[in-house]
Structure 1
């Protein structure tokens, strides 16, 4: 355990390291960073992608990863990546599991362990004129194909949620997949496109929420008729009873009529059958988020009349409260460490003026902020092909995995030992 004097020093150093209030304290913080171990090597590049999926198997021995032989450009239709896992108890040995032609730099191919299973993983791929999902037992090698790509899996492991990744790529390159075209290239909000529930045993799918239905709901008193609509960032609640999605839209170009300019966002929640739709964050500014529990969502946003920051929203109510007010002042990719009663929040920052990315832990009851390191992001990692750290935790919450190219070998996986921090 860490005594109070050390805790206060780490908090001060953490603030300085994250927000640059003192060079001296930032230097002090660097001596307190927890140990880091790199588990993948060049010449090929390795990364996992997003922060809200299981990367570690139930034993915390195997760590999933994507593998690719190039960087610094957008994927092309013929680009294939390998998917595999690292055996961290046997010399960080790479074990190939399969391949994918449905991937992006930010979220990979949605590679993840299937909740409720010991040895099964899932990832997205492309077959001829459709995106699909591969389901594989990493021990027996048994593999099956689902006729739909999966965005996120329910915590009970029974179903996944899906959307049109081609439309998503068109609306926000880097988050969807190349290789197929938007099925509705001229429709602003198609009625037969939206969020689908996919049975992971049978592959059967059901449309839950359509773009057309959501586009009809006014935004702050104004209609959204003349906008291009799409969905992004789906996540099922811990009890598998409700789900989140971000409804986003872009303007039409005055001359070409195509999607134009930036996007606006609002967060919805809904029952698993698509009913009881609720606008949880109507601000237009929702960014990264995570379910804290079945009734609450923690997100980075800028609520009307408040400062931007991390806020906890109570589902289906207007109740909100800020996390780390005055301390957590930068957007990042946030989760809660398992086994800590939601007292420890894990997140990161985007590159600072020195292009350092800074994952950190924040102890909510004591406002203790603990930096986990400073990871340099070379200037060539920008835009769609940037490499965010996207911190992900092990099943026991004592190890953090990040993506980072700071070692000079391209993007690789790195493990951070936080066991002494959380005690």
Structure 2
């Protein structure tokens, strides 16, 4: 493992709490001039039902000026409001209408808005559809990943038939439930099919748009017991469901191509189960470990646009409270540390600030959220020289 000094540039204003959100989405405009950003009025506590989050753009060519475009009351510190670019002129994000979660498409130039009947999770640009989950159920069962102020209509059901993973057409607003939570539970081995509440999280489309993955989680007993996780992959119409990762633990992941994805997971072997980053081949039992013996802890992993590098981070080191940012060469697992960032905030999902590193579309810079200077802010780091 090598350490390569890289200079981080703060790209958010000197006052206020700024962040973007999750690691598998890019805040960059296609011109690379603007970054999407969220601005909060406080930090250090979970969002409440009436707390508003401003969404807007950072102008990298104009002293990093923040231009607010809208507000939302459907957000959390981990993932923001799922703010994303749809094209050069439109953004999409989640919001609340009364006690209902919706998604909003906003023209950043004209201000024209269109409301969709369900919240979004990820976009599939090639097909014009998005994935959707129940953020009220997430808020109840996995605090820090859902939205306050929305009642969970499925609260009395451990594994509902009418809720789970949805896809929604951006043009027609038509939504379809493609895999229910009840169906996911039925796919479990009978010995572990019971237990407490089940839910879904972290849905992501394969690059070609035909397949998508989702994490199925459940409490084996009481809600206070540690949850277990498996990964399901399926076609976007809900057919060809496959339990790709099924040893009880799976966390962050990213598709490399239409046939492979990288995930921090548990894999059973001849000498027992082991945890690490594995590259899985969809619809097979094939799993090849990346940087075995070196990448031993969970992180937010994503492939560079050309698939040659993996961007990853760590949780705080107990010794000094710093999070490490790294690049991993996919061909041989060589690791290059490109920064360490102090994290003074508690390591709990509801309020913590993970780096959540994200690639610029050209693969020559990355963007992170961090609190190492005492407030939430966004930073960019040039990785072009290292990749060259």
After TM superposition, the score normalised by the length of structure 1 is 0.88
Name the CA distance, whole Å, in 2 between partners of 1:364 and 1:231.
Answer: 29
Task: Classify the secondary structure of the residue corresponding to 1:374.
Answer: strand
State the Cα distance separating 1:364 from its structure 2 match: 2.4
Q: Please give the residue correspondences for 1:292-307 in structure 2 after superposition, counting only pairs within 5 Å.
A: 292-304=256-268, 305-307=272-274
Name the CA distance, whole Å, in 1 between partners of 2:331 and 2:122.
Answer: 30
Question: Which residue in the other structure is 1:310 paired with?
Answer: 277
Q: Please give the residue correspondences for 1:115-126 in structure 2 after superposition, counting only pairs within 5 Å.
A: 117-126=87-96
State the Cα distance separating 1:35 from its structure 2 match: 1.6
Task: Classify the secondary structure of the residue corresponding to 1:149.
Answer: coil
Question: Which residue in the other structure is 2:370 paired with?
Answer: 404
User: Which stretch shifts more, 122-131 or 374-383?
Assistant: 374-383
Q: Which of residues 18, 36, 43 in structure 2 aligns to 1:46?
A: 18
Q: Please give the residue correspondences for 1:36-115 in structure 2 after superposition, counting only pairs within 5 Å.
A: 36-114=8-86
Q: Which of residues 336, 340, 357 in structure 2 aligns to 1:374?
A: 340
Name the CA distance, whole Å, in 2 between partners of 1:56 and 1:407.
Answer: 23
Q: Please give the residue correspondences for 1:15-414 in structure 2 after superposition, counting only pairs within 5 Å.
A: 29=3, 32-114=4-86, 117-156=87-126, 158-219=128-189, 221-253=190-222, 259-304=223-268, 305-339=272-306, 342-352=307-317, 353-380=319-346, 382-408=348-374, 410-414=375-379
User: Which stretch shifts more, 244-253 or 296-305?
Assistant: 244-253
Q: Which aligned segments of 4 or more residues in structure 1 are displaced greater than 2 angstroms? A: 139-142, 364-368, 379-383
After TM superposition, the score normalised by the length of structure 2 is 0.96
Task: Classify the secondary structure of the residue corresponding to 1:303.
Answer: strand
What whole-Å deviation, never above 9, does each CA across 1:135-175 have from its counterpart, x for those lacking one? Answer: 11223332211111001111315011111100011000000
Structure of higher CA gyration radius: 1
- 1:59–1:395: 8 Å Cα contact kept in structure 2? no
- 2:256–2:262: 8 Å Cα contact kept in structure 1? yes
Structure 2 unmatched ranges of 5 or more: none
Task: Classify the secondary structure of the residue corresponding to 2:68.
Answer: strand
Structure having the higher strand fraction is: 2
User: Which stretch shifts more, 80-89 or 35-44?
Assistant: 35-44
Name the CA distance, whole Å, in 2 between partners of 1:36 and 1:385.
Answer: 23
- 2:315–2:354: 8 Å Cα contact kept in structure 1? yes
Name the CA distance, whole Å, in 1 between partners of 2:381 and 2:308.
Answer: 19
Name the CA distance, whole Å, in 2 between partners of 1:193 and 1:290.
Answer: 24
State the Cα distance separating 1:381 from its structure 2 match: 5.6
Structure 1 unmatched ranges of 5 or more: 1-10, 15-28, 254-258
Structure having the higher helix fraction is: 1
- 1:155–1:237: 8 Å Cα contact kept in structure 2? no
User: Which stretch shifts more, 375-384 or 174-183?
Assistant: 375-384
In the superposition, relative to structure 1, how do residues 190 and 306 fare at CA in structure 2: closer, same or farther (>3 Å)?
closer
- 2:38–2:54: 8 Å Cα contact kept in structure 1? yes
- 1:55–1:113: 8 Å Cα contact kept in structure 2? yes
- 1:392–1:400: 8 Å Cα contact kept in structure 2? yes
Name the CA distance, whole Å, in 1 between partners of 2:356 and 2:285.
Answer: 29
State the Cα distance separating 1:184 from its structure 2 match: 1.6
